[in-house]
Structure 1
Amino acid sequence: MKDSDFVRRIIGILTEAKQMQTLLEENPDREDISGDNVRALLNETMPTIELPVDASPAELGEALSLQLSPVIERLTGAFSLIFLQLADVHDAGRTDVTAADVLQDLALRADALWPGDDSV
């Protein structure tokens, strides 16, 4: 998966979280709000995990760490980059641009901004 794919999934997660927040602000007693879409977007970034059948708990922990660390690092990087873009707009005092506008622009330009590799 390319870095731009990670960025797009994080943008999807942030967009979905904002929609959930808006729905809950409109009606805090809603019971039809679920994190299924966020979970699905996050799961798309996760690799298939292979664990040895006869591994000790320590070996299982090490195997999980080795397989998940690269993805977690890329997700953290994508969240950080998106946050910095949003913070720059906020700190500049821009009132003509919403957070949704910034996220949409980033999603459209993701391949150019974060070409990255697809090793993970």
Structure 2
Amino acid sequence: MEQNEVVLRAIGILTRSAQWRRQVEAGDAGGDDPLGDGRGGDDPLGEDPGTGQIAALLAEVFPSVPVREEATALEAAHAVTEAALPSVMRLIGAFTYVFAELAEAHDSGRTDITSEQLLRELALRMSRAGDAV
């Protein structure tokens, strides 16, 4: 998965999180709790397709790590850590990039655009060929 795709998926999750927040504030979080903190139903992952976005992103970004059957626990942990580190860095980079864009608009005092509009604008910019993070 290219970094632009990871950023676009992060934007989708952040856009969806605005809906999660509105539903929680309205007291209508039934099953729609992305963090599993007890406000949104019995399933800690929630029943909302938005939480599926998070799981799908993690499944696509993180590699499958084969571990030898005779590997020790320490060897297995090292193999998983080594394989997962680039994916962790890509995810952190994507969310950091989007956060920085939102923070810049906020800090500059822009009132002509909402965070959701800015996320849509950023997604359009990122989806154009040649635009890279």
* TM-score higher than 0.5: yes
1:113 alignment partner, SS class: coil
Pair 1:64-2:63 in alignment: no
- Secondary structure at the aligned position of 2:61 is classed as coil
1:102 is matched by which residue type in structure 2? L
Q: Distance in 1 between matches of 2:131 and 2:85?
A: 23
Deviation per residue, 1:38-69 (Å, 9 max, x gap): 22233222222222222101101111011100
Higher RCO structure (Cα 8 Å, ≥6 apart): 1
The structural deviation recorded for 1:112 is 3.8
2:2 counterpart of 1:2:
yes
2:20, 2:123 → 1: CA distance? 20
Kept after mapping to 2: 8 A contact 1:46/1:71: yes
Structure 1's consecutive aligned runs of 4 or more residues displaced over 3 angstroms after TM superposition are none
Which 5+ residue runs of structure 2 have no aligned equivalent? 33-45
Which of 49, 59, 65 matches 1:49? 65
Residue pairs, 1:68-79, within 5 angstroms: 68-79=84-95
Aligned residue pairs total: 114
Q: CA deviation at 1:36?
A: 3.0
Q: TM-score, normalised by structure 2?
A: 0.77
The equivalent residue for 1:90 is 106
Q: 1:20: how far off? A: 1.0
For the 8 Å contact 1:47–1:68, the answer to whether it is kept is yes
Segment of structure 1 superposing worse, 40-49 or 96-105? 40-49
Write the distance in 1 (CA, Å) between the matches of 2:57 and 2:121.
Answer: 19
Code of the residue aligned with 2:12 in structure 1: it is: G
Structure 1 position 88, deviation (Å): 0.6
The 1:17–1:69 alpha-carbon spacing in structure 2 relative to 1, beyond 3 Å, is same
Aligned to 2:42: none
- Identity over aligned pairs, percent: 34
**Structure-2 residue corresponding to 1:32:** 31
Unaligned stretches of 5+ residues in structure 1: 116-120
